[in-house]
A and B are shown apart, each in its own frame.
Chain A
């Protein structure tokens, strides 16, 4: 073990090539993993605000029964936009940003394996975002056709009725797909080919492992989504009948294609966050991660089972009983790997010596809330019961309980954890605590009551609801406002830390209990790191000379 107080910027930022370019070229032409990582993170923050603004619009409309703010089509347009922006704009790019920043640092590589392609992967995102926003606003121009009122699942035949906005959305999906596939290829190659020679796959950091599995998942599922929306495009404009029974097609085919992508996709959102927690929890427990190998096994199992259970979103569409039984059993089996992961986290805290900095506070509450969301997931997986739950607010509650803690909050925690490394400054702990508690209360207030709404019979994706659902919707909307506002604290916190006013300087090993190569380089991390590969021991730490 290294002495934790060691604070030497390892002699690895000497290099003969130059630092960053000046001006806009530094970002637009960049092939530096840190700069590209930062761009991903900033992009995702912008998208979070956009997606959050639409969430606030949704909750504002649902605060009272009746149509107050939004026309029905506009409401559904916003719901669609909210989901796509959050999933593809906020969560995935944030995770990719962390990957870009941390993977080379963690495995002792000088950069990503294919730096120019890395740049392309990022820059496709703003293009996609522009097209996504266009798909939202095009209907408001003369001749722009009707709005996208299909939800993020884009089910035909409804999506065949939508005007040209749908074509923008279809091509957005193509762009996003290309971007993610290229990024995934890059990550896989980097992990396989750029590790410090002494780092074996077994002692590779868990965050890197989760991204390896995630990248494989993305390469397998995104092309299928791209193919599915391409068929949609053909049905819309070229007269094919893939999704039209009259011509021998079946609208449900699209659902299979969508969920073949969509279900693994939720694990794409989840896994990097599991990776983040696997670093935070040991760091603040001051002991190694419990069950390292079982963690790796669990994530591989999770990805494998996750690929073959997609139709649990479609129990109501008419599949044979053999098919639904299979999908039910497959789906609940997922509780095994996920349960094992959560168990490992708790066991890491067992007989530990915990301290409660903000990342740890998040991590602990994430484990608790995710288990709750996961258990409602198991309820949904039970076919007969899902015939009642399906397409109600209960589902909305389930997936926000897994998505927000499981993905978004874990990414926040990761940002707080690594901010000192990126900026060289410690964030303001007190402010971070405020952010934690307000978001905890806001989040649970928003989504906990939606379980009741769903069970009592409120469908999702409705702009207006019968009066008996008023009280809980009101509570949910008020809490959502608190939750939304709490993010302002986060924004402020990040900006404050970057500017370094009123903060303390970070050591290279910013957290006493933190392990891993990223803590061996100076804080802030120099523009180029690991020009020479470090030699690591079995625990992934620098080998003592």
Chain B
């Protein structure tokens, strides 16, 4: 006969609507601020405050419910699948930028350089531009933003690769410690991971300063600068978010919130971190190296 459904349906909650208000304020603020309308800045501040409040409140509720034993196997599966598809959507977000990089380098870039289907473009419009000037990395036939230097792969990017890969390993160690119920090791490995992540962010910031000050590699440096910053920028943003999430999880680990058989939150953040890791590998190969 019919099986009893015990699926946990939460009480009506105010957090979604606060989440909506915070996003609304942030984006409205953004739209105004980009156009130098003063109210934009206030909205941005308001939105950020609401956002922090919302995350804190919503996740507090979830943690309470989780500790209160409200979540069974089925709920756990819901969360896992939800997180998985969320990461899938993030993946396509980055794919958009990688795809653009490919198109600008190998398709339209070739046309501007006088090759491929629209090769005639160069003959007619840019006869005086040397083909070296429009070979990748370039800032276009008009040398937009002035001469610049591309970012090499060795040096900071390589170090950063090693940092992120190591952080993936330390996070896995943490996971093993969690399964072994070894809280002390768990917390240690968590903080090690966070330290690696923050070091990465630090290096990345240093790299940006270096690029702006010494290489004249700016957002305005033609397509190279554009693709470089949009890819590394959004990645860096994800690392920062991931680090914050790791800090929260680390604190929860210290409070012994997780059981070997039940630690969805830990795993979700771990997946996210690994995802950020994989994106970085793509970045290292396609942005810095090739």
Contact = CB atoms under 8 A, between A and B. Distances in A.
Interface of A: 17, 21, 25-26, 28-31, 109-111, 113-117, 119-120, 123-124, 127, 130-131, 143, 145, 163-164, 167-168, 170-171, 174-175, 178, 181, 184-186, 188-189, 192-194, 196-197, 219-224, 226-228, 230-231, 233-242, 244-250, 252-253, 256-257, 260, 318-320, 323, 530-535, 545
16 contacts: A31-B10, A114-B78, A119-B13, A123-B16, A185-B86, A193-B74, A197-B3, A219-B85, A223-B95, A231-B100, A241-B220, A248-B112, A248-B134, A249-B108, A249-B140, A249-B223
B127 interface: no
Interface residues of B, number: 78
B117 A319 contact: yes
B78 A250 contact: no
A117 B16 contact: yes
Interface string B125-143: 0000000001000111110
Given A164-B35, A188-B85, A240-B229, A30 B3 contact: no
Interface string B180-213: 0000000000000000000000000000000000
Nearest to A28: B17
Contacts of B74: 193-194
Nearest to A198: B3
Given A29-B17, A192-B81, 6 more contacts: A123-B16, A189-B82, A196-B3, A248-B109, A250-B103, A535-B2
The CB with the most chain B CB atoms within 10 A, among A170, A219, A224, A247, is that of A247
Contacts of A30: 12
A384 B27 CA distance: 43
B16 A247 contact: no
A17 B141 CA distance: 68
B236 interface: no
Interface string B78-95: 110110011011111111
Contacts of A318: 117-118
B281 interface: no
B282 interface: no
Contacts of A114: 78-79, 82
B104 A253 contact: yes
B104 A245 contact: no
A233 to B, nearest CB: 8
Contacts, number: 250
A25 B11 CA distance: 12
Interface stretch (B18-26, B164-172, B239-247, B260-268): B18-26
Nearest to B220: A239
B180 to A, nearest CB: 29
A189 B78 contact: yes
A115 B86 CA distance: 16
A245 B19 CA distance: 40
Given A247-B145, A248-B139, A535-B2, A174 B89 contact: no
A177 to B, nearest CB: 9
B12 A31 contact: yes
Nearest to B229: A240
Contacts of A531: 4-5
Nearest to A233: B34
B2 A534 contact: yes
Contacts of B220: 238-241, 247
A242 B226 contact: yes
Contacts of B226: 231, 234-235, 240-242, 247, 249
A41 B116 CA distance: 50
Nearest to B92: A223
A185 B104 contact: no
Contacts of A323: 117
Contacts of B111: 250
Contact of A29 (B12, B58, B118): B12
Contacts of B23: 124, 127, 175, 178
Given A123-B17, A223-B92, A532 B2 contact: yes
Contacts of A235: 226
Contact of A168 (B31, B86, B95, B225): B31
B78 A224 contact: no
Interface of B: 1-5, 7, 9-17, 19-21, 23-24, 27-28, 30-32, 34-35, 37, 58, 74, 77-79, 81-82, 85-86, 88-97, 99-100, 103-104, 107-109, 111-112, 116-118, 134, 138-142, 144-145, 218-220, 222-227, 229-230
A253 B90 contact: no
B78 A242 contact: no
Given A167-B30, A227-B96, A253-B104, A248 B140 contact: yes
Nearest to A542: B2
A185 B28 CA distance: 25
Contacts of B219: 234, 238-240
Contacts of B94: 227
Contacts of A534: 2
A224 B140 CA distance: 24
Contact of B96 (A192, A228, A530): A228
A170 B104 CA distance: 22
A545 B1 contact: yes
A521 to B, nearest CB: 13
Nearest to A545: B1
Contacts of A192: 81
Contacts of B99: 224, 256-257, 260
A115 B224 CA distance: 44
Contact of A253 (B82, B100, B224): B100
Contacts of A21: 12
B12 A246 contact: no
A242 B224 contact: no
A165 to B, nearest CB: 9
B88 A219 contact: yes
Sorted nearest first, the 6 A-B pairs with minimum C-beta distance are A227-B96, A248-B140, A250-B108, A240-B226, A246-B142, A29-B12
A242 B20 contact: no
A422 to B, nearest CB: 20
Given A120-B19, A194-B7, A227-B97, A175 B34 contact: no
B145 A111 contact: no
Contact of B34 (A115, A184, A197, A237): A237
Nearest to B83: A185
A418 B17 CA distance: 29
B24 A127 contact: yes
A238 B34 CA distance: 9
A247 B223 contact: yes
The CB with the most chain A CB atoms within 10 A, among B5, B34, B223, is that of B5
Nearest to A240: B226
A226 to B, nearest CB: 6
Given A194-B7, A532-B4, A249 B13 contact: no
A394 to B, nearest CB: 27
A223 B94 CA distance: 8
B147 to A, nearest CB: 13
Nearest to B105: A248
A224 B97 CA distance: 8
